């Protein structure tokens, strides 16, 4: 059985289910917190891919590596059981929740691809569809007789590229957890796999997840507010869940690598520019200056000319980033808390400010101020967050979001075959996002994943390089 996609056929070798070891876990339900509920509006699943070198034929992988991957995944799921669970969405007025029952499992696919491994792990431009055959599809939700929806939360696909390497790709529903939860899971699975399932040899060195959802404080009563907003649109949301829209025509993806030297020069340049016309001292983190550079370059790449059209100059452009707040004083959750613990920050600026002479500096000022506000009050305007998102989803809005974070250290995910040759967020090609991660080969560097149409992506990189050249000359 093969799927033809962009001239790279993928042969499905096996479809199966992987569950925690039987009889070890009792049936369990987990309530959704106010951190989880806004993710009902996230129609597309989160998709993260890891590529590893494996210079052996397929049959060798199937005989040696695959059994260890499966066994270690099963052992891992006994602690990370929400990924093998289902989201239960009963009819109103009942409240959605996550349920695990003994025997629940996740979809696990094994495939073989003839794609070029060297191209896939490179930072060069490639058709976004080159990765799609490597991405698993979440099973469709089931509808019970009483109207209750039963929604699987994760699917995994392992794809062998003979004599070169293999990929591990995960698709999961964001309601199950955030990036920190995912990568805690991945590092645990990788460690168990590397130890070939010998838990005794690594006991004490692995962090176990905390499922204590009753520890999540809700001082503003946000869960009730969000549930009231959801009750009128939940059926419609569930109808769209999992549907894939064809938005990939003529899109390419690539990875921009900013070295530590690039970042430090950018910080220094922005800081010097700020003192010349802005008041106050900014805390210019790597995150702030990188997002500012990318946002301005993205907005400028939309312009057909250097200056914005007069009628568009006052248009507001939005930048959205998410912040993990487990260690914020108002929550004081353990770093291993499993679930969502993200707050949204929305930065709005006029297009004319972003494309102007001091665009990067203005953007850095605005993003840094948003970070500072977040630290002083993580739930500022949170009661209006869902209505904000509905407004921003309207057609014609200029919205750029950030997925991932360098703090997730994705390149420390070693299953026993070395660190990944590449790890990336796949769904940026359909979500209007750029991705950020730590850098595989440059300590202190940062990788930025971008997916745009072919003409615009060249314009984007030309503008971004001009900005960096300006930094070097000015520095």
Q: Which residues are catalytic?
A: 174, 414
Taking alpha carbons only, the member of 196, 205, 209, 197 closest to residue 83 is 209
Q: How many CA atoms lie within 13 A of 448 on its CB side?
A: 25
Residues 6+ apart with CB under 8 A from 117: 51, 161, 164, 165
The number of residues in the chain equals 475
Q: How far does CA 147 lie from the centroid of its chain? A: 31
Q: Which uninterrupted H or E stretch holds 116?
A: none
* Listed residue (112, 55, 107) closest to 84, CA to CA: 107
CA–CA separation, 229 and 400 (whole Å): 24
Cα separations in angstroms, 332 against 201, 265, 340, 370, 405:
31, 35, 14, 21, 21
Task: Give CA 194 to chain center in angstroms.
Answer: 25
Helix, strand, coil % in the chain, rounded to nearest 5: 40, 25, 35
Among candidate residues 416, 418, 419, 420, the one with its CA nearest the CA of residue 195:
416
């Amino acid at each position: 059985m093969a799927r033809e996609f962009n001239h790279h056929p993928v042969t499905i070798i096996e479809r199966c289910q992987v569950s925690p070891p039987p009889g070890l876990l009792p049936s369990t339900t987990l309530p959704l917190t106010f951190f989880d509920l806004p993710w009902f509006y996230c129609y597309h699943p989160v998709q993260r891919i890891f590529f590893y070198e494996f210079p052996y034929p397929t049959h060798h992988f199937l005989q040696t590596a695959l059994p260890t991957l499966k066994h270690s995944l099963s052992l891992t799921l006994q602690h990370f059981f929400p990924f093998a669970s289902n989201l239960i969405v009963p009819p109103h007025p009942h409240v959605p929740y996550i349920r695990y029952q003994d025997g629940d499992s996740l979809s696990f696919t094994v495939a073989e691809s003839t794609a070029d491994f060297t191209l896939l792990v490179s930072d060069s431009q490639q058709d976004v569809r080159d990765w799609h055959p490597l991405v698993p599809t979440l099973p469709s939700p089931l509808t019970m007789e009483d109207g209750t929806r039963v929604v699987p939360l994760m699917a995994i696909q392992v794809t062998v590229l003979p004599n070169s390497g293999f990929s591990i790709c995960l698709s999961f529903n964001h309601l199950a957890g955030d990036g920190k939860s995912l990568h805690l899971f991945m590092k645990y699975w990788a460690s168990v796999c590397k130890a070939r399932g010998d838990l005794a040899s690594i006991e004490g060195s692995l962090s176990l997840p905390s499922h204590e959802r009753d520890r999540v404080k809700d001082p503003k009563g946000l869960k009730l507010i969000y549930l009231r907003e959801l009750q009128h649109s939940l059926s419609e949301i569930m109808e769209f869940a999992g549907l894939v829209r064809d938005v990939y025509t003529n899109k390419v993806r690539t990875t921009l690598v900013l070295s530590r030297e690039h970042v430090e020069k950018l910080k220094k340049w922005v800081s010097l520019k700020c003192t010349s016309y802005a008041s106050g001292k900014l805390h210019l983190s790597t995150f702030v200056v990188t997002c500012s550079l990318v946002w301005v370059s993205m907005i400028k790449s939309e312009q057909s000319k250097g200056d914005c059209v007069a009628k568009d100059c006052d248009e507001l452009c939005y930048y959205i980033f998410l912040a993990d707040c487990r260690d914020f004083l108002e929550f004081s959750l353990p770093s291993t808390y499993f679930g969502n613990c993200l707050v949204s920050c929305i930065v709005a600026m006029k297009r004319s400010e972003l494309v102007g002479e001091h665009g990067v500096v203005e953007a850095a000022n605005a993003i840094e101020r948003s970070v500072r506000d977040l630290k002083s009050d993580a739930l500022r305007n949170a009661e209006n967050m869902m209505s904000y998102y509905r407004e921003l989803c309207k057609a014609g809005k200029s919205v750029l979001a950030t997925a991932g974070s360098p703090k997730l250290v994705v390149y420390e995910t070693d299953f026993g075959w070395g660190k990944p040759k590449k790890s990336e967020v796949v769904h940026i090609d359909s979500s209007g996002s750029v991705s950020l991660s730590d850098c595989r080969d440059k300590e202190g560097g940062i990788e930025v994943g971008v997916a745009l149409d072919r003409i615009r992506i060249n314009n984007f990189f030309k503008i971004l390089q001009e900005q960096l050249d300006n930094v070097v000359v000015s520095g």
